[in-house]
Structure 1
């Protein structure tokens, strides 16, 4: 975006020494304009000629990526759906169970730069196939851990981060190389629908599979089989599009990767990337703690209100709140992502800074509603659910927009690295620590926690 007089966000798209980002326009989400020197937006036939893929095949690739993203988040939150049972089985408290999510996120965060580096330089399809196969195998193994080996559950949840890091850093860059302009924004919104929907399905699958099987271990055996299907679909359907080709001038030479240190320097000097990543870190902090602890919090709220008996050692804990919270997460995710993309698209006509403004409004607006859900929990479970619904809807407005910002302010040959370091930053300061901190804070300094109200 160097040289453009209508920079869409905060700064030029990348390091000035790189020159302008190929095809990056003055307005976000619009790959090209009538300005001299900027490429025109390819039509359907043009995209097919550039990528070597028909529109139907491109859409099918996005569908496969969406399925895997849904499975990714479903696996992540299946554990949260049966968290009270895990606490009972391993005889652990809130601080220890909070570590389950923290260990996973920490592993995911550390490995993301590795796969970001590889994804900018090697075949992305095969990297994802290997990572997802490993993740499925480890998840299956975690369902056979005996009760005296809680540390082994932590280890396996950490290893799951290998597969998720291999996917999350790479998949959005494939979409960026298949579509441009509003097409890209729409496909990204479909892709990011899978995050809240998959998270919600994780709670639902965890709670319902446990109820049907009578054993929470079976909840961890659902996603590995679906992971095998994902690997087969990746291998058979997905084809590697040329990096950045849809954004180049027809007479421009292909972009070549720069060194990893050059990539890092350029990203560090890109305020649009760094500040949007810091904003997304706040989203990750909130959603990470909310995702792990909301079902347990709602169960204890019902105990305080006298609507359900407490979860005692040896008993199967009520899973109704995991089911309801999962449904809410699915619905608010679809609603929030769709609202965010549509509001931003309309506002962009009059304000080129629409994307960051919509993200900020969603995050700030969620805070009072989430606070009210806490304040109302000891008086009305219905009010608590209503305020969580509104708060989660506003938070979900960020998902697709932040991803779109990254893609149009970073050049194609370092997008996987940018995805990786956004993951590192948002998890390091966000949801790597927030579940553990909330669990630690729920335990009294002296003596055991004796009431659900505490």
Structure 2
């Protein structure tokens, strides 16, 4: 009888920890995406100020994605071996300092080194550890918690589009990098102070996969066709996403004569409001049906890409702003369906002991597939134009839907049976 108050005493700090953890990771992911998007928003100003060609600007954007893709598997393996709190805090500090100093760049090499290598390298270490922390703390409503975290992507991109565009037009593109970089440095200090080094919720924390080596994990993934199909589908989505995010603000400036602030806001707001609604909708759908059939997570993802493809084409060829914004919104809604289960689908077929490592490898392959998109669109822009280039991205969505659908239909049942150790 004396011990009855204990559950409440224990549960209260645990609940507070879980929500504070999710809130701080949301803010970190917000800045992760905001810092990544600043360059695309102020790209026309950098082009006019420094005289870079479209191909050079595309190369800078692709350099970040290439660096991210190369380093993220290393980040995953480190995330399975060391304090995930420390990894999140240090990488946040590193990419924020790189973002801050990007405001001082004046040559192509400087942008590639600071914007591409340093910022991309710092950001690569965030997602595997952050998603693993969330996944292990929210086992019963994992997709919903991960989807809340995912909404930071949309808010980060929207707000960076609005704020960076306004600051760039009125105070110079350099100050946009200074502002967001400084905010990240402050947040990294808060993360160090507020998130415990070792997760207090995990009684089995010492069972961390210290024996899971790179080659062993790679072989596990290669033996699971479902993971391969998810990775290919992810790569198709990344190809579309980085190309769209890099060039859509410039597309609206060139096509409709918008100001940089208007283009930065409109190119990102309608799409990501739709994605915000879609990711919560998709998470609820998959969490509801996955209790009976975990394959539902992949079905939701595949449908999201397939239904979203026509709206990518429509946003690119429409002659009016209203139709373009309508298509951007619906493109976002069904992109959200896909986003809602990126991590949750993978976790259905990967052992908990190697989840950060596996997610890092999947991210690496997907981002290396998609990294060439900004550069290719930049090279094609002078001849085909951005409208045709962006419209062609719809084909990649259809291809991605086919890959994920094949994984769900042909391989998931076998991989699910052996994938939840």
Residue 231 in structure 1 maps to residue 188 in structure 2: yes
**What are the equivalent positions in structure 2 for 1:1-80 lying under 5 Å apart?**
54-80=14-40
Relative to structure 2, which stretch is displaced further, 348-357 or 98-107? 348-357
Write the distance in 2 (CA, Å) between the matches of 1:420 and 1:321. 33
2:159 to 201, 208, 230: 201
Write the distance in 1 (CA, Å) between the matches of 2:105 and 2:150. 33
Write the distance in 1 (CA, Å) between the matches of 2:372 and 2:149. 26
Change (3 A) 1:200 1:246: farther
Change (3 A) 1:355 1:126: same
1:191 to 149, 165, 168: 149
Write the distance in 2 (CA, Å) between the matches of 1:133 and 1:194. 18
Change (3 A) 1:175 1:443: same
1:433 to 361, 369, 372: 372
Write the distance in 1 (CA, Å) between the matches of 2:43 and 2:167. 14
Partner of 2:246: 292
* RMSD (Å), alpha carbons: 2.8
1:167 to 114, 117, 126: 126
Residue 176 in structure 1 maps to residue 118 in structure 2: no
Partner of 1:369: 311
Measured against aligned partners, the alpha-carbon deviations of 1:327-380 in whole angstroms (never above 9, x if no partner) come to: 22431221111111122233436644211111011101111111112221xx21
Write the distance in 1 (CA, Å) between the matches of 2:207 and 2:44. 57
Change (3 A) 1:389 1:137: same
2:349 to 409, 427, 430: 409
Residue 122 in structure 1 maps to residue 79 in structure 2: no
TM-score relative to the length of structure 1: 0.78
**What are the equivalent positions in structure 2 for 1:297-316 lying under 5 Å apart?**
297-303=251-257
Measured against aligned partners, the alpha-carbon deviations of 1:247-284 in whole angstroms (never above 9, x if no partner) come to: 99xxx977653222212211221223222122111111
TM-score relative to the length of structure 2: 0.84
What are the ranges of 5 or more consecutive residues in structure 1 without an aligned counterpart? 1-43, 309-316
C-alpha deviation, 1:245, in angstroms: 4.6
Q: Tell me, yes or no, if the aligned pair for 1:139 and 1:160 is still in contact at 8 Å.
A: yes
Partner of 1:279: 233
Partner of 1:107: 67
Change (3 A) 1:53 1:83: same
C-alpha deviation, 1:100, in angstroms: 1.7
1:94 to 35, 40, 54: 54
C-alpha deviation, 1:126, in angstroms: 1.6
C-alpha deviation, 1:396, in angstroms: 2.0
Write the distance in 2 (CA, Å) between the matches of 1:253 and 1:46. 27
Q: Tell me, yes or no, if the aligned pair for 1:244 and 1:255 is still in contact at 8 Å.
A: no
Secondary structure of the residue that 2:125 maps to in structure 1?
helix
What are the ranges of 5 or more consecutive residues in structure 2 without an aligned counterpart? 1-5, 390-421
Secondary structure of the residue that 2:105 maps to in structure 1?
coil
C-alpha deviation, 1:241, in angstroms: 4.9
Residue 144 in structure 1 maps to residue 100 in structure 2: no
C-alpha deviation, 1:104, in angstroms: 0.5
Question: Number of aligned pairs?
Answer: 383
Q: Tell me, yes or no, if the aligned pair for 1:243 and 1:412 is still in contact at 8 Å.
A: no
Residue 260 in structure 1 maps to residue 218 in structure 2: no
Partner of 1:393: 333
Secondary structure of the residue that 2:340 maps to in structure 1?
helix
Return the index of the structure with the highest Cα Rg. 1
C-alpha deviation, 1:240, in angstroms: 4.3
Change (3 A) 1:299 1:57: same
Q: Tell me, yes or no, if the aligned pair for 1:207 and 1:322 is still in contact at 8 Å.
A: yes
Q: Tell me, yes or no, if the aligned pair for 2:97 and 2:185 is still in contact at 8 Å.
A: no
C-alpha deviation, 1:229, in angstroms: 2.1
The structure where helix makes up a greater share of residues is 2
Q: Tell me, yes or no, if the aligned pair for 1:90 and 1:150 is still in contact at 8 Å.
A: no
Write the distance in 2 (CA, Å) between the matches of 1:68 and 1:286. 24
Q: Tell me, yes or no, if the aligned pair for 1:244 and 1:413 is still in contact at 8 Å.
A: no
Secondary structure of the residue that 2:246 maps to in structure 1?
helix
Secondary structure of the residue that 2:304 maps to in structure 1?
helix
Write the distance in 2 (CA, Å) between the matches of 1:130 and 1:255. 22
Q: Tell me, yes or no, if the aligned pair for 1:196 and 1:332 is still in contact at 8 Å.
A: no
Q: Tell me, yes or no, if the aligned pair for 1:115 and 1:420 is still in contact at 8 Å.
A: yes
Write the distance in 1 (CA, Å) between the matches of 2:311 and 2:156. 23
